[in-house]
């Protein structure tokens, strides 16, 4: 054999060495869930609405559900005088806060001194009235009738200055003529109004000293108990990334603190399940690094690194692997004895449970 032929054979052999060193095995598998986690109710109450569907991608901070709350409004225009509770407190019979009405004076009135006509002795809630002191008429005020009970009624002043305990006449007209007089009354101090609630205090919307209007939101309460050290709202948010596996409650349902609202497949626990023919068990081991290619985007060349975390010591006689939700086979139609393997990897938002993949071993 000539020296040129020998040299050519040596070169060919040398070129084949890298190919032999780079030999690998391929397996087929699927994305499966790991352990499930739950999102629970931080407090008891009634579920008003659910914001998700099963199979939906969930992020930390996403709205999970809205709880029904009781909104407590200011009964009058006035100023908040004292706040006696804070978010998280269980509420009993005592007031959450007091509101001092804008009106300084409350006048307890009767129709006894009214002008003697039917019209002047028939008063209505909401009427604007004019007030003048009896002795010399130097103290005047305006007010509104806020309550009527038979021949008696109550007036809350809206403007003017009077003296406590003085007797006054009440008129329908600001000319204070006798024919417009609808009664008389005694001036008293308008008491602060105590505003109460039931259940637990979820959130305060006012502070001591705030000026409020009638109908303004003061605070919200919920049923059940709260953790006084935590900050809550009516919207419950997710504390985990993943996919909604199961919705465990429905709108209108009552829940207690700690009840499960959602079951979630945690995205960070996704794994690859694959099947290994028994004659390939020597080609892959726990701890091996592998490359994962998703069949739906294999043309992009994108791969995910993974690590083999387990290989079963019990064969699957059927030739398929069943986790209860997804299946994987090493070779379509294979009748060889097979063993389940698992691979850990870092999933991104393009990865969905059940996706098929190709796993390639790395010859190190």
Q: How many helices (H) and strands (E) does the chain have?
A: 1, 29
* H or E segment to which residue 9 belongs: helix 3-21
Q: How far apart are CA 357 and CA 28, in angstroms?
A: 6
The 10s digit of each residue's pLDDT in 278-311 is 999 999 999 999 999 998 877 776 889 999 999 9
Residues 200 and 96 in one domain: yes
Residues 88 and 217 in one domain: yes
The answer to whether position 14 is within a domain reads no
Indicate the DSSP class of residue 192: P
| CATH classification of the domain holding 175 | 2.40.30.10
Residues 154 and 173 in one domain: yes
Q: How far apart are CA 44 and CA 232, in angstroms?
A: 12
Q: Is 151 helix (H, G, I), strand (E, B) or coil?
A: coil
Residues 143 and 285 in one domain: no
| CATH classification of the domain holding 202 | 2.40.50.100
The 10s digit of each residue's pLDDT in 222-248 is 887 776 555 667 888 898 899 999 999
Residues 86 and 140 in one domain: no
The predicted pLDDT at position 276 comes to 94
Q: How far apart are CA 69 and CA 221, in angstroms?
A: 6
Written in H, E and C, the secondary structure of 81-141 is: EEECCCCCCECCCCCCEEEEECCCEEEEEECCCCCCCCHHHCCCCCCEEEEEECCCCCCEE
Q: Are 170 and 115 in contact (CB under 8 A)?
A: no
Q: Domain range for residue 162?
A: 104-189
Nearest to 219 by CA among 207, 231, 227, 237: 207
Q: How far apart are CA 225 and CA 107, in angstroms?
A: 42
The answer to whether position 181 is within a domain reads yes
The answer to whether position 260 is within a domain reads no
Q: Are 263 and 332 in contact (CB under 8 A)?
A: no
Q: Determine if the pTM surpasses 0.75.
A: no
Q: Phi and psi of 31, rounded to 5°?
A: -80, 130
The predicted pLDDT at position 233 comes to 75
End-to-end Cα separation, the chain, in angstroms: 37
Give me the residues of the chain with pLDDT under 70, please.
1-23, 227-232, 301, 318-334, 364
Q: How far apart are CA 314 and CA 338, in angstroms?
A: 9
The predicted pLDDT at position 334 comes to 53
The 10s digit of each residue's pLDDT in 20-29 is 444 578 999 9
Residues 293 and 183 in one domain: no
Nearest to 187 by CA among 163, 171, 160, 170: 163
Residues 349 and 277 in one domain: yes
The answer to whether position 39 is within a domain reads no
Q: What angle do CA 131, 133, 136 make, to 5 degrees?
A: 135
The number of beta carbons lying within 10 Å of the beta carbon of residue 130 is 20
Q: Is 196 helix (H, G, I), strand (E, B) or coil?
A: coil
The predicted pLDDT at position 144 comes to 92
Residues 207 and 292 in one domain: no
Q: How far apart are CA 105 and CA 186, in angstroms?
A: 10
The predicted pLDDT at position 102 comes to 84
Our count of domains for the chain comes to: 3
Residues 6+ apart with CB under 8 A from 23: 363
């Amino acid at each position: 054999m000539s020296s040129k032929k020998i040299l050519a054979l040596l070169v060919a052999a040398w070129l084949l060495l890298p190919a032999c060193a780079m030999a690998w095995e391929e397996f087929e598998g699927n994305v499966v869930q790991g352990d499930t986690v739950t999102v629970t109710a931080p407090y008891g109450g009634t579920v008003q609405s659910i914001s998700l569907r099963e199979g939906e991608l969930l992020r930390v901070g996403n709205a999970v559900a809205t709880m029904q709350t009781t909104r407590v409004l200011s009964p009058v225009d006035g100023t908040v005088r004292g706040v006696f509770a804070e978010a998280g407190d269980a509420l009993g019979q005592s007031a959450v806060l007091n509101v001092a009405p804008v009106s300084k004076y409350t006048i307890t009135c009767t129709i006894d001194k009214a002008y003697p006509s039917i019209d002047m002795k028939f008063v209505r809630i909401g009427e604007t009235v004019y007030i003048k002191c009896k002795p010399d008429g130097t103290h005047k005020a305006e007010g509104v009738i806020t309550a009527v009970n038979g021949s008696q009624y109550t007036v809350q002043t809206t403007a003017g200055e009077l003296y406590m305990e003085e007797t006054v006449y009440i008129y329908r007209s600001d000319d204070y003529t006798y024919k417009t007089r609808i009664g008389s009354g005694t001036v008293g101090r308008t008491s602060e109004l105590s505003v109460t609630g039931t259940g637990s205090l979820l959130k305060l919307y006012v502070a001591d000293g705030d000026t409020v209007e009638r109908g303004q939101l003061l605070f919200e309460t919920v049923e059940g108990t709260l953790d006084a050290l935590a900050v809550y709202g009516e919207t419950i948010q997710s504390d985990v990334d993943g996919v909604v596996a199961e919705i465990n409650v429905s709108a209108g349902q009552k829940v207690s603190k700690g009840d499960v609202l959602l079951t979630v497949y945690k995205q960070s626990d996704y794994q690859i399940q694959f099947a290994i023919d028994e004659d390939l068990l020597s080609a892959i081991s726990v701890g091996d690094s592998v490359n994962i290619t998703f069949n739906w985007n294999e043309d992009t060349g994108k791969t995910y690194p993974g690590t083999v975390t387990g290989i079963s010591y019990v064969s699957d006689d059927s030739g398929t692997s069943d986790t209860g939700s997804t299946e994987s086979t090493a070779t379509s139609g294979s009748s060889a004895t097979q063993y389940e393997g698992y691979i850990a990897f870092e999933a991104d938002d393009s990865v969905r449970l059940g996706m098929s993949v190709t796993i390639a071993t790395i010859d190190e």
